[in-house]
Chains A and B, each alone.
Chain A
Amino acid sequence: MWVRTIVVVLVALVGRAGADDLRTAQQHLDAGVALYGAGNFADARVELAAAQVLAPDKPNPYRWLALVDVRLGDCASALVHIESFAARVAADDARLGELVRLRDQCRSIGHIRVVSSPTGATVRVDQRATPMMTPADLALSVGSHVIVVGKPGFESVTQTVEAHAAGVDEAMFTLPVAAVAEPHHRWWLWTTIGVGVVAIAAGTTYALTRGRDDPRLPPIACDATGCR
């Protein structure tokens, strides 16, 4: 992608020497908008950047760059483009409302990259489990969050991190190896006691819960009209 970026921008700069920069810029802008509509945000950004280089005084390339940067998850760049757009249009420009909303959204989210040693640890955020393993990128609301990183064989580590508006911060977790309990010399005694306790507990649980804690729920029926 970088090669393509360089090529397109160079073509744009060379094209600057020509007589009709604005027409070329419009072509790049149109191509960028079409790619944006197709969901190809990375290539759209390349075309829009070329349009912006050729027509730096025009507001529209900044607007589309802001839109595409948001789709690419780059709120920091989007905020810059929003300000650039706002500086080039009248205060009552109809397109400002959309970008102001985008700006407010960007300012309410921050990214935290959670890394750990060792890697492959589970991540909990604000007492909720996530499906992510370290290293993990989290998009969180701006403010403080409690992150717990854990892995079997290691002690869990808790940190309170701050997500900054449109920011990308890193939180490093070093997990200490969990202490291993010293084996008791009379292992057979404790094994016998343990087995006895488990047997009593299992029997008691079974007796107390049988018939009361039925884990089967009535089935539901679905047909062409829905489920009941």
Chain B
Amino acid sequence: MPVRWLALLAVVGCGGDGDPCGATAGTCATIRVTSTGIARVDSLELDVSYGDGHGTAITMLAAPAALPVETGVALDVTLPVGLGVVVAGRLDGQVLGTGFAATELAGGATLVVAIEPPAMVCVATGTYCGGDKVAGDPETLYRCGAQGMAYARGACASGCQIGTNRDDTCYGGGPRCTTGTRYCGGDKVDGDPRTLYTCQADGTGVTSEACVNRCEVVAGHPDTCR
């Protein structure tokens, strides 16, 4: 009997009777946001990485709602595609918690993102690997925003390395760059994947240019901002 009541309560808790992706055309992933410590939110901020694409958006409720809540991410891209979503749950403008989930998207899917208050808050404008003070993919570098929200800078091809008393960075794979040549961070030089670096004689890179959109790795040629 108690199990039946729990089932009923779960249905009551779900509340709505529609799919947040229902009205959208094309491929759509349902994002179901849960929490063990956060009761209600009135908006969600999503940082979405999909293949080489990236975007950030906020979706809002008319009134605060109890978790779990659901939204959708409609994608106009070629499938299959890797989808990673960082979610910040907000109430009255304050971030209550963040979480991350990822999947390989071949069609419609549901991602469950558990948001919790961060244990240790990241320093705004610092860069962090996912899981190091910010919610996210461990092999992706993020920039810390206001109130602990993480914004993806890009995936690290050779891994994301956590720095001690310094920013985390995409690992370049060792000192094998050509002196004087420009590279995206993480491509033969350590750094931010959306910044161009000039290779130094000691194998390290110095910042050359911050890319507005993205940094493109060009095999056999200098990398470039796009």
Contact = CB atoms under 8 A, between A and B. Distances in A.
Interface of A: 33-34, 37-39, 70-73, 75, 102, 105-106, 109, 124-125, 128-132, 139-140, 191, 195, 198-199, 202, 205-206, 209-210, 212-228
B192 interface: no
A224 B56 CA distance: 13
Contact of A219 (B15, B28, B63, B119): B28
A71 B164 CA distance: 5
B170 to A, nearest CB: 11
A202 B24 CA distance: 32
Interface stretch (B6-14, B138-146, B217-225): B6-14
A131 B67 CA distance: 20
Contact of A39 (B15, B64, B161): B161
Contacts of B118: 128
Interface of B: 1-2, 5, 8-9, 12, 14-16, 18, 20-21, 23-24, 28, 37, 43-44, 46, 48, 50, 53-57, 59-77, 116-120, 161, 163-166, 171, 174-175, 190, 202-204
A202 B9 contact: yes
Contacts of B202: 33, 37
Given A37-B175, A209-B15, A224-B77, A217 B5 contact: no
Contacts of A70: 164-166
Contacts of B166: 70
A214 B61 contact: yes
Contacts of A109: 165
Contact of B48 (A213, A225, A227): A227
A147 B190 CA distance: 36
Contacts of B56: 226-227
B59 A218 contact: yes
A220 B71 contact: yes
Contacts of A223: 53, 75-77
B59 A219 contact: yes
A195 B5 contact: yes
B92 to A, nearest CB: 16
B166 to A, nearest CB: 8
Contact of A216 (B66, B71, B161, B165): B71
A28 to B, nearest CB: 16
Given A39-B174, A202-B8, A221 B77 contact: no
Contacts of A72: 164
Nearest to A211: B15
